[in-house]
């Protein structure tokens, strides 16, 4: 049995991709499976936390006793997150939020129009940063998917977004990370770097949450 180290804590987790509509039948998205975020939600609940999962479009079952809100776009995810953020002790951003959204979503299905098509995009809000920059932010944990210089890029994200912790994974290794059932992480805080070796996303989630709890206590 698990020691309920997260008893009494409210934890919100974002997971999966977001979907940015182009018109009523098309969208821009990415290959995030949501597996790491859902594993975190399951593990946090089993460790005793009250878990709210804000999920983009994924086909995964809701872990037992987890409150799930389904969203599509980054804007929608931002709004759902901020609705409940004041009650959260810990916020873990695991979602692969689309960096850009359409400037204008066509109300009708777009027609084919010649050889080239240009779409105008602008940046989506940074959901994690918007939480970390609140006056009274919860303890914030980010994820960073990198293909090179994993630790230094993660360190700079930790600082720029004013996070308490960041978990970085090397997505150039196709056996791990995106869509895989296994992952490995480098977990950074202001003054520590800890490597979690490759294992199932559920076991990794349990280890990450132990580190989160320790940092949360020392904060
Ligand atoms: O800067 P980058 O997108 O690599 O940062 C990744 C981290 O920020 C992840 O924790 C991700 O969930 C979060 N994020 C977010 N909103 C965005 C972009 C990233 O919450 N628009």
Q: How far is the CA of 29 from the centre of ligand 1 (A)?
A: 14
Identify whether 65 is a catalytic site residue. no
Domain 10-98+124-218 has CATH 3.40.50.10300: yes
Q: In DSSP terms, which residues pair with 10 in a beta bridge?
A: 50
Residue 153 CA: nearest ligand 1 atom is: 4
Ligand 1 proximity of 93 Cβ (cutoff 6 Å): yes
Q: What is the DSSP pairing of strand 192-200 with strand 182-189?
A: antiparallel
For 4-39, the pLDDT digits (tens) are: 999 999 999 999 999 999 999 999 999 999 999 999
Q: Binding site residues for CTP, as ranges? A: 99, 109, 125-128, 143, 157, 161
Residue 55 structure tokens: 């999920």
For 90-134, the pLDDT digits (tens) are: 999 999 999 999 999 999 999 998 999 999 999 999 999 999 999
What pLDDT band is residue 177 in, cutting at 50, 70 and 90? low
Q: Output the CA torsion 125→150→156→137 (10° steps).
A: 60
Ligand 1 pocket mutation, candidates 97, 168, 185, criterion most atoms within 8 A of CB: 97
Q: How far is the CA of 107 from the centre of ligand 1 (A)?
A: 28
Q: How far is the CA of 99 from the centre of ligand 1 (A)?
A: 8
Q: What is the ipTM, given to two decimal places?
A: 0.98
Q: Is the pLDDT of residue 153 over 80?
A: yes
Q: What is the mean pLDDT of residues 152-177?
A: 90
Residue 99 CA: nearest ligand 1 atom is: 21
Q: What is the mean pLDDT of residues 129-157?
A: 96
Ligand 1 proximity of 34 Cβ (cutoff 6 Å): no
Ligand 1 proximity of 185 Cβ (cutoff 6 Å): no
In 80-217, beta strands by DSSP E:
90-93, 100-102, 121-123, 139-146, 165-170, 182-189, 192-200
Q: What is the DSSP pairing of strand 182-189 with strand 165-170?
A: antiparallel
Q: Residue 194 in contact with residue 207, Cβ under 8 Å?
A: no
Global model pTM greater than 0.95 = yes
Q: Is the pLDDT of residue 209 over 90?
A: yes
């Amino acid at each position: 049995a698990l020691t309920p180290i997260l008893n009494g804590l409210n934890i919100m987790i974002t997971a999966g991709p977001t979907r940015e509509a182009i018109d009523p039948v098309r969208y821009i998205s990415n290959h995030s499976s949501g597996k790491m975020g859902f594993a975190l939600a399951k593990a946090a609940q089993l460790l005793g936390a009250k878990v709210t999962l804000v999920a983009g479009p994924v086909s995964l079952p809701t872990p037992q006793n987890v409150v799930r809100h389904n969203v599509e776009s980054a804007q929608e995810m931002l709004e759902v997150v901020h609705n409940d953020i004041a009650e959260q002790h810990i916020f873990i951003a695991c979602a692969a939020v689309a960096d850009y959204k359409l400037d204008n979503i066509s109300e009708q299905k777009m027609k084919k129009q010649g050889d080239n098509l240009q779409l105008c995009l602008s940046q989506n809000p940074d959901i994690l940063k918007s939480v970390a920059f609140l006056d009274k932010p919860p303890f914030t944990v980010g994820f960073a998917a990198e293909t090179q210089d994993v630790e230094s890029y993660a360190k700079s994200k930790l600082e720029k977004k004013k996070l308490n912790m960041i978990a970085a994974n090397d997505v150039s290794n196709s056996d791990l990370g995106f869509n895989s059932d296994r992952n490995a992480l480098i977990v950074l805080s202001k003054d520590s770097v800890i490597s979690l070796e490759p294992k199932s996303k559920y076991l990794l989630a349990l280890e990450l949450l132990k580190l989160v709890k320790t940092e949360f206590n020392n904060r």
